[in-house]
Structure 1
Amino acid sequence: MNDKKILELFKQGQREKAFSKLYSLYPKIESLILSKGGQKQDASDVFQEALIILNRNLEKADFKLTSSFYTYLYSVSRFIWKDAQNKFLKQELHDLSDTEVEYFHNVLEENKYRLAERAFLQLGNRCQELLRLFYHKAMSFREIAKVMQFKSEKIAKNQKYKCLAKAKDIYQTSKTVQS
């Protein structure tokens, strides 16, 4: 199946079909990772992460695929693997094409998403619930106070800021540990 048909499947909301077509590219990505010293499990993990990055980008209205899916997934997979191995040389980064810079940026963004998600999951249940109510359900502090049985909306607001501060601390700590 060619790239235009796969892209059309994504646009039609048939993501499962599109992804099943993209899995035909996995053996090439596996070969790449194995040739760089990785194991089959590493290749599987890298390919999954590349697909997640592709999916996030396809959801953006301004994203345009400027290469084939194979080229995109190969490049992103290469960056994921090199980033995981901390094997980037300054000159190598300097010599990247504009497209490669974009792909590398996608990998770095995905790392940020993962760290933020990890920070959120390390919060207590009450903090998670409060942040979900505020950000996902767009509830007012008055509504949150009622649902979570706080004495006032001011307490709900203070708790939200404490939860965010805790999440930011976890995020920064994870970021420092990862570097």
Structure 2
Amino acid sequence: MSDEKIMALFKNGQRNKAFRELYKLYPRIEKLILSKGGTKADANDVFQEALIILNRNLEKSDFKLTSSFYTYLYSVSRFVWKDSQKQFSKQELRQLEGEEVSILDAVIEEKKYRTAEQAFRELGERCQQLLQRFYLKKMSFKAIAEVMQFKSEKIAKNQKYKCLQKAKDIYRNQFKTAKS
């Protein structure tokens, strides 16, 4: 199937069909990762992450695919693999151009997103519930205090602050660990 037809599937909300077509590219990405010393499991992980990055970018209104899907996924996979192996030299980073820079940015953003998700999962259940009620359900502090049995809105607000601080601390520690 042509790239234009795959893009049309995405635009028409037929993501499952589009991804089925993109999965046909997997053997070529697997070959790349195996040639770089990775395993089949590594190749699968890298390809999944490349698809997630592609999907997130396709959801952005300003994203333009300027190459074929294969070229894009190959580049993203190469960057994901090199990043996971901490193989980027300063020289290589300085020589990146155009789309390579945006691909590396997308890889880094995805890494930050995953780290933030992990930090949220490491919070206690009560903090998770409080933050979800505030940010996702858009509940007021008064409503949160009632539902979660805090004595006042002020206590709910203070608890939200403490939960956010805890999440930020976990995130920073995880990101430091991931970088080293």
Question: Which residue of structure 1 lines up, in the alignment, with residue 60 of structure 2?
Answer: 60
Runs of 4+ in structure 1 deviating by more than 2 angstroms, as ranges, are none
Q: Tell me what 2:108 maps to.
A: 108
Q: How far does residue 61 in structure 1 lie from its aligned partner after superposition?
A: 1.5
| In structure 1, C-alpha distance between the alignment counterparts of 2:13 and 2:146, rounded to whole Å | 38
Greater shift, 4-13 or 26-35, is seen at 4-13
SS of residue paired to 1:62: coil
TM-score (norm 1): 0.98
Measure the CA separation in 2 of the matches of 1:62 and 1:138: 28
- Aligned residue identity for 1:161: Y
Moved more, 63-72 or 26-35: 63-72
Specify the code of the residue in structure 1 equivalent to 2:169. D
- 1:96, distance to aligned residue in structure 2 (A): 1.2
Residue in 2 that maps onto 1:141: 141
Q: Per the alignment, in what secondary structure is the counterpart of residue 61 of structure 1?
A: coil
Letter of the aligned partner of 1:45 in structure 2? D
Letter in 1 for 2:175: K
Q: Distance in 1 between matches of 2:129 and 2:46?
A: 31
Counterparts of residues 117-156 of structure 1 (less than 5 Å): 117-156=117-156
Partner of 2:177: 177
Q: Matched residues in 2 for 1:164 and 1:103: separation? A: 30
Equivalent residue, structure 1, for 2:91: 91
Q: State the match for 2:9 in structure 1.
A: 9
* Counterpart position of 1:80: 80
Distance 2:58 2:129 in 1: 29
TM-score, normalised by the number of residues in structure 2: 0.97
* CA RMSD, 1 decimal: 0.7
String of CA shifts for 1:39-79, please: whole Å, max 9, x gaps.
11000000000001111111112111111111110000000
Per the alignment, in what secondary structure is the counterpart of residue 151 of structure 1? coil
**1:20 Cα deviation from its structure 2 partner:** 0.5
- For 1:69, the aligned partner's letter is F
CA distance in 1, matches of 2:92, 2:41: 27
Deviations 1:111-168 (A, max 9, x none): 0000000000000001001111111111111111111111111111101000000000
Which stretch of structure 1 is more off in the superposition, 112-121 or 51-60? 51-60
CA separation in 2, counterparts of 1:79 and 1:5?
26
Q: How many residues align?
A: 179
Which residue in 2 is equivalent to 1:49?
49
For structure 2, the residue ranges without an aligned partner over 5 or more in a row are none
Q: Distance in 2 between matches of 1:73 and 1:60?
A: 17
Letter in 1 for 2:25: L
Higher mean Cα deviation, 106-115 or 55-64? 55-64
